[in-house]
Amino acid sequence: MKQFLPAIELLAKGELPSNSNQIKVYEKSYTVEGNVHLLMVKNSGEKFILATGEGAIFDELTGTDVDGKGKACPLTYENRLVLNKYFDYTVPQAFGTEIATIGLGDRLGLASPGHIETVREKNIKPVLAQQSIRELTLTNRSMNDMLDAAAFAVFQEGYKGGYGADGDHIKEESDIQYALSLGASMITLDCSDHIDNTIEKASPEVLDEKFNALSEVVKQRYMEQYLGKTFEVNGLTLTLDETELKKNVLLYDKAIDYTTHVYNEYISKENRAIDFEISIDETETVTSPISHFFVANELINRGVKVVSLAPRFCGEFQKGIDYIGDVEQFEVELREHALIAEHFGYKLSIHSGSDKFMVFPIIAEYTKGVFHVKTAGTNWLEAIRVIAATNPDLYRRMHVFALENFEEALKYYHVTPDLNSFEKLENVEDAKLPEYMNNDAARQLFHVTYGLLLTAKGENDTFLFRDEFFKTLDKYEEEYRDALVSHIGKHIELLGL
C-alpha cells in the first residue's frame, strides 16, 4: 500500500493529489467529514477510498494501514454501509409521482458513472440499481453487489442529486422481502404469473364457463361496480360491456388480488417511502386502455398506492432496438394510457424502453414529461461497442461464441433477429467492428447472450471472456463513460428532458 503514501500525505493537508502512473484520482469524490478526508482512487484496476484524519468515519471504514498516515479502503459491502451511514445521498431513495425517472440497469456494475454524468443537470432522476432476479442469476451477481456498485459510483462522482434502487420484475414474496430488507427504494411487481394468457383468445362459451366458476361474491361485486356504468376519466368516456367485463375479470382479478396482498403485507409496512410499480407487461396480452383503467380502478379502490404502472403496449418493445409496430396506433393508445395514469395520479412506466427513439417524443408529449422508463441491456451493448473498438480480438471471440450459443439464450428472452442480416465476421476489418452495434440483429444477438458470455468457462475452470472483458473495460473506463453519455443522452434528449 506504499504506493498510496504520497497521495495520503497530500490529502492530510487538504490537497488533492493528481493522476500519476501509479494511481488514477476521482477528484469529484473528494469529501471532508469533520476532520476526515476521503478520496477515491484506482490502482492497477482496483478502486480504493483513501482515508486520513481522525473521526468516527475513519475508525469505521476498514482498510489497510498506509504507513500510519491513513488507510486504503477497498470497495466492500461493509465500507458501502459506512458511506450509507454518513452520507444520505449514497442511500437509494424513492422519487414518487411528480418527477420523471429512468431505470438504468447495469449488468456489469461499471455503467453508473456514465449514467450519472448523463442525468446530472437534467430534470429526471436515475434509478441506478435495477436488476431482475433473472439478470442477477445470469451474471452471478447478488442484489448487494448491485447496490454496492451504485452507492460507490455515486460517491465517486460526488453526485448528491439522489438515486433509486429497483428490485426489478419481482414475482415472489420472498424476493420482495429480501429486496426491501437490503434497502431497495423501488419494487417492480411482475404480475405475469397471475395473468391468464388463454383468456384473450377464449370463445364466449369458455369465458362464460370460467366466469361462472368464480365465487358469487366476486361476480356480483364486479357486475355491480362496472356493468352498465360509464366512467369519465380525464376526458375519456369508458364503458365495459358484459363480455369485456368478464374478460377483464378473468384476466386480471388474480393479479389485482396478489398486488393488493403484496402492497398490504410489505410495501405499506415499510417505514420509508417506496416507489411501488405494477407491471402487467410481461404477458402476451396487450393492455387495452379499458383494461388499464379496470386494473387501476380496482387497485386504487382497494387502497393500493401505485407510483407507476407498466401496461403492455401495442406493437413490440423488443430489447435493445427501436419500436416495431404501428406508430399511429401507439400514439392513439399511449394518449389514453397517459390520461388514465394522470387521472389516478401515478406515472406510466415504459419497460424495455431502451432505443425506442421513434416513440420517445410521443411518450414525452402525452405524459407531460412525467414517466418512468426502464433501460438495461442497451448499457451492456455500449460496453460491447467499446470492446469492439479497443480489443478487436476479444470482440471476435465473443461474437463467435454468441452466435454458437444464441439458441440457448432464447430460453430466457423473446427476440427475433435475422442473423443473416449482418456481415460475416471474417469479412469485417477491425476498425469496422464497432459498427455491429448499429445493426439491430447483432445488437439482439449480444443483448440476450450476456449471461452466457460473462459466465462461460473454458479449460481449467477459467473464464473464457469475463476477466479480459472487465480488464479491457477498466482500461477504457473513460471511453465507456463517453459511450453511455452519448447513447443514453440521446434517450434523454428525445424524451424532452
Residue 344 near residue 306 (C-beta atoms within 8 A)? yes
Q: Which amino acid is at 455?
A: T
Give SS3 for 405: coil
Q: Give 29 or 131: the residue with its C-beta nearer to Zn ion.
A: 131
Give, as ranges, the residues between 184 and 203 that touch Zn ion (CB under 5 A). none
> What is the 3 state secondary structure string of 275-291?
EEEEECCCCCCCCCHHH
Stretch that binds Zn ion, among 128-136, 171-179, 345-353, 436-444 (CB under 5 A): 345-353
* Other Cβ atoms closer than 10 A to 55: 14
Fill in the amino acid letter for 240: L
Residue 141, CA distances (Å) to 48, 144, 177 in order? 21, 8, 18
The interface region with Zn ion, picked from 59-67, 86-94, 228-236, 348-356 by CB under 5 A, is: 348-356
Grid cell listed for 271: 417505514
Smallest separation, CB 261 to Zn ion (Å): 20
Nearer to Zn ion by Cβ, of 255 and 398: the residue is 255
Instruction: Identify any residues that bridge with 188 across adjacent strands, giving them in sequence order.
Output: 277
Residue 132 sits in the site that holds Zn ion (CB under 5 A): no
Place of cell 456494475: 109
Q: How many amino acids of this chain bind Zn ion (CB under 5 A)?
A: 4
In eight-state DSSP terms, residue 297 is H
- Nearest to 290, CA basis, from 349, 258, 325, 247: 247
Cβ neighbours, 10 Å, residue 364: 17
What is the C-alpha separation between 249 and 256, in angstroms, rounded?
9
What span, in angstroms and rounded, lies between the C-alpha atoms of 176 and 164? 16
Tell me the closest approach of the beta carbon of residue 434 to Zn ion, in angstroms: 29
- Using CB under 5 A as the binding rule, the residues of this chain from 214 to 253 that contact Zn ion are none
Q: Which three cell numbers stand for residue 58?
A: 475513519
Q: How far is the CB of 20 from Zn ion (least distance, A)?
A: 46
Pick the stretch among 77-85, 280-288, 468-476, 488-496 that binds Zn ion (CB under 5 A): 280-288
Distance CA 189, CA 245 (A): 24
Q: Figure out which of the listed residues 37, 71, 351, 487 binds Zn ion, where binding follows CB under 5 A.
A: 351
Residues 439-478 that bind Zn ion (CB under 5 A): none
Residue bearing cell 452507492: 151
Find out whether 475 is annotated in a ligand binding site.
Answer: no
Rank residues 157 and 190 by Cβ distance to Zn ion and give the closer one: 190
CB of 192 to Zn ion, least distance (A): 8
Q: Which stretch binds Zn ion (CB under 5 A): 46-54, 109-117, 272-280, 415-423?
A: 272-280
Residue from 117, 277, 281, 440 binding Zn ion (CB under 5 A): 281
CA angle 169, 110, 60 (to 5 degrees): 95
| 246 known ligand binder | no
Helix-helix angle 289-301:242-262, to 10 degrees: 50
Of residues 358 through 417, those in contact with Zn ion by CB under 5 A are none
Percent of residues in the chain assigned helix, strand, coil, to nearest 5:
50, 20, 35
Are 51 and 61 in contact by the 8 Å Cβ rule? The answer is yes
Smaller CB separation from Zn ion, 309 or 338: 309
Q: How many CA atoms lie within 13 A of 494 on its CB side?
A: 18
We find the least distance from the C-beta atom of residue 179 to Zn ion, in angstroms, to be 16
Q: Does residue number 279 form part of the binding site for Zn ion (CB under 5 A)?
A: yes
Interatomic CA distance for residues 250 and 494, integer angstroms = 38
Task: Please give the residue whose beta carbon sits closest to Zn ion in the complex.
Answer: 351
Q: Which is nearer to Zn ion, 47 or 372 (CB)?
A: 372
Q: How far apart are CA 229 and CA 276, in angstroms?
A: 29
Q: C-beta of 351: minimal distance to Zn ion in Å?
A: 3
**Does residue 354 bind Zn ion (CB under 5 A)?**
no
User: Which residue number, 154 or 189, has a Cβ lying nearer to Zn ion?
Assistant: 189
Residues annotated as part of the active site? 168, 277
CB of residue 317 to Zn ion, shortest distance in Å: 9
Choices 6-14, 264-272, 350-358, 363-371 (CB under 5 A): range interacting with Zn ion = 350-358
> Which of these segments, 121-129, 313-321, 351-359, 364-372, binds Zn ion (CB under 5 A)?
351-359
274 vs 310, beta carbon nearer Zn ion? 310
What does the chain come to in residues? 497
How deeply is 99 buried, as exposed, middle or buried, from its count of CB atoms within 10 A (0-12, 13-18, 19+)? middle
How near is the Cβ of 374 to Zn ion at its closest, in Å?
7
For Zn ion, the closer CB: 58 or 346: 346
Residue 5 C-alpha cell reads as 503514501
Q: How far apart are the first and last CA of the chain?
A: 44
What are the residues binding Zn ion (CB under 5 A)? 279, 281-282, 351
Task: Name the binding residues.
Answer: 169, 319, 351
Task: Name the binding residues for a divalent metal cation.
Answer: 169, 319, 351
